[in-house]
Structure 1
Amino acid sequence: MVKQESLYVDISGSDKLHLRHLYHSNRKGPAVFLLHGAVENGKIFYTESNKGLAPFLAEQGFQCFVGDLRGRGGSVPHIDKNADYGQTESILHEIPAMLDHIENLIGKRAEYWVAHSWGGVLMNSVFARYPKEIESVKACAYFGTKRSLYNNHPSKLIKANLFWFGLAHYYSKRHGYLPAKKLRWGSDDESKKSHYQSALWAKKSPWIDSDDGFDYAEVLKNTTLPPTLHIAGAHDKALAQPVDIQAFIKESGIGIQKMNIYGKKYGHSHNYGHIDMLTHTQARKEQFQDVIDWFNQYATC
């Protein structure tokens, strides 16, 4: 039986980051750190009734630590107009704080990293800022991760060009944050700064930090990152088509990277989209199993 518990990481004053710890009968398995994307929280990876990728990995003997970035999910307080932080703070402070907490709890860094969507961009940004982290990570798996959007599908023009690059700025200015959950654009809200910074990068702008000018692409171009499996959904037309993922692969160092596309054309039971690549019932037998195989392939590295 998979067990779950909530852990909290002090980050600033009264602010706390939420980590959901999922494990089987013991807590000695390899640690996996999982991170959500924009307008999301950690629930993309699990339910309290043990559905999803994190419970699946826990069943196989891994310890899973699912992070909620500041103000999202179980982290407190929730994002509001006073939230002055963005993705720079996530890269420099929040993600490292969660990794430190995991190490303090189990005595070692997380050996495997998993991300959905924008979470993979943040993870590779952490590798650029803190290259020592690469030494601890055996393999990564990124679901639907891209940085800049290169596809021109009509749904991309609506979801990205109209909503993310246009209306979202209006709502952020009006409310002081992006109320994405109320707008039904996602499972959680985004701070004004986080939305602004992610929108910059999604527009094919250079991978450069708007706070201090740190050039992530320049640092990573000759860096060997951990072996990374990229999961693409055949029905993910707007947010992470293979062309978008391939562009992210190209700018993410010189390490081993592989992209698998999941859809009926490729022998799978379902044409997966951006969200149901992690929530569909058949994912356990297809991409989830492939993640296990990928991790096992590099387990002794």
Structure 2
Amino acid sequence: MITQKSLSVPVSGGACLHLRHIYHEQKTGPVVLFLHGAIENGKIFYTHSNKGLAPFMALNGFRCFVLDLRGRGGSVPAIDSGHEYGQTESILEDVPAALAFIEQYTGSKPQFWVAHSWGGVIMNSVFARFPEEVPNVDACVYFGSKRSLYNNHPEKLIKANLLWYWLAHRYSKKYGYLPAKKLKWGSDNETVKSHWQSAQWAKKMPWVDSDDGFDYAQALKSQVLPPTLHIAGVKDKALAQPIDIKMFMKESGIGLQTLNIYGKKHGHGHNYGHIDMLTHPRAQDDQFKDLLKWFELYRK
């Protein structure tokens, strides 16, 4: 039987992060941390009716912890005008707070990390800032994760160049935050700072923190990160084409990294895009199964 439970992780400024614990009551397997991307929240990995990747993994014995970054999903308070935190706080405070909480709650740090989209950038940034975390992680799987956009597909020119770089800035200035949920651009909103910081990195700017100048690329240059499986969808034309993912892999240390592309021409059950690579019913027969195999290969 799959059980879901909401946990609260306090962070600075009186905020609390929402952590969804999804597990099988009769199985006690490895601990997994899940991290969503921009204009999203942890619900990309699960539904309350136990659909999605996290319940699938729970059925296979994994103890899943799905994090909502500050202000997103079930985290409180929700993003609003005047909230000044951004991705620097996600890297330096939110993810470390979740890791410490999970260790206290379960007795061990997460053995496996899973991310969607920008969540993979945040996770590798955490590895750069806190290299002592690397030995705690057996392997990672990143769904559609890239840092900078190198492709020039027409859909990318609309979604990134027009919407994310230009129009989103206008909306952020007007509202004091990016109302992506209201605009139907995604499942959640972004602060002005988190949008601006992610947009700069996506524009192929150096992988350097705008707050303190920390050089993530330099920190990872000779670092061996956990073995990482990157997942791309053949219909993901704008946000994570193979060229974008490969460039992210290139700047993410010297550890083992593999890229798998999912679509009918590769023998899979669906032509996956950026979102439905995690939400389509056929995913459990394709990339979800390959995720289990990847973790089994590197499980210590």
> Percent sequence identity over matched residues?
68
Q: Secondary structure at the match of 2:11?
A: strand
Task: Give the aligned partner of residue 160 of structure 2.
Answer: 160
Aligned structure 1 segments of 4 or more residues deviating by more than 3 angstroms: none
Deviation at 1:14, TM superposition (A): 2.7
Rounded Cα–Cα distance in structure 2 between residues aligned with 1:27 and 1:173:
49
Q: Which amino acid aligns with 2:288?
A: F
CA deviation vs aligned residue, 1:149-200 (integer Å, no higher than 9, x gap): 0000000000000000000000001111000000000000000000000000
Task: Give the aligned partner of residue 64 of structure 1.
Answer: 64
Rounded Cα–Cα distance in structure 2 between residues aligned with 1:12 and 1:209:
20
Task: Give the aligned partner of residue 3 of structure 2.
Answer: 3
Q: Secondary structure at the match of 1:236?
A: coil
Task: Give the aligned partner of residue 17 of structure 2.
Answer: 17
Rounded Cα–Cα distance in structure 1 between residues aligned with 2:27 and 2:148:
38
Q: Secondary structure at the match of 1:230?
A: strand
Rounded Cα–Cα distance in structure 2 between residues aligned with 1:45 and 1:269:
19
Rounded Cα–Cα distance in structure 2 between residues aligned with 1:100 and 1:73:
20
Task: Give the aligned partner of residue 45 of structure 2.
Answer: 45
1:101 partnered with 2:101? yes
Q: Secondary structure at the match of 1:259?
A: strand
Tell me the TM-score normalised to structure 1 length: 0.99
Deviation at 1:265, TM superposition (A): 1.0
Task: Give the aligned partner of residue 202 of structure 1.
Answer: 202
Task: Give the aligned partner of residue 294 of structure 1.
Answer: 294
Q: Secondary structure at the match of 1:103?
A: helix
Deviation at 1:26, TM superposition (A): 4.0
Rounded Cα–Cα distance in structure 1 between residues aligned with 2:171 and 2:124:
29
Rounded Cα–Cα distance in structure 2 between residues aligned with 1:238 and 1:271:
15
Rounded Cα–Cα distance in structure 2 between residues aligned with 1:155 and 1:210:
28
Tell me the TM-score normalised to structure 2 length: 0.99
Rounded Cα–Cα distance in structure 1 between residues aligned with 2:50 and 2:258:
28
Deviation at 1:28, TM superposition (A): 2.9
Task: Give the aligned partner of residue 223 of structure 1.
Answer: 223
Q: Which amino acid aligns with 2:201?
A: W
Rounded Cα–Cα distance in structure 2 between residues aligned with 1:95 and 1:26:
28
Task: Give the aligned partner of residue 183 of structure 2.
Answer: 183
Q: Secondary structure at the match of 2:182?
A: helix
Rounded Cα–Cα distance in structure 1 between residues aligned with 2:66 and 2:125:
18
Task: Give the aligned partner of residue 133 of structure 1.
Answer: 133
Deviation at 1:82, TM superposition (A): 1.8
Rounded Cα–Cα distance in structure 1 between residues aligned with 2:151 and 2:121:
18
Structure 2 runs not aligned, ≥5 long: none
CA deviation vs aligned residue, 1:36-79 (integer Å, no higher than 9, x gap): 00000000000000000000000000000000000000000000
Moved more, 24-33 or 123-132: 24-33
**Aligned length in residues:** 300
Q: Secondary structure at the match of 1:147?
A: coil
Structure 1 runs not aligned, ≥5 long: none
Q: Which amino acid aligns with 1:56?
A: F
CA deviation vs aligned residue, 1:102-137 (integer Å, no higher than 9, x gap): 000011100000000000000000000000000100
Deviation at 1:27, TM superposition (A): 6.4
Q: Secondary structure at the match of 1:142?
A: strand
Task: Give the aligned partner of residue 232 of structure 1.
Answer: 232
Task: Give the aligned partner of residue 78 of structure 1.
Answer: 78
Task: Give the aligned partner of residue 117 of structure 2.
Answer: 117
Rounded Cα–Cα distance in structure 2 between residues aligned with 1:55 and 1:168:
33
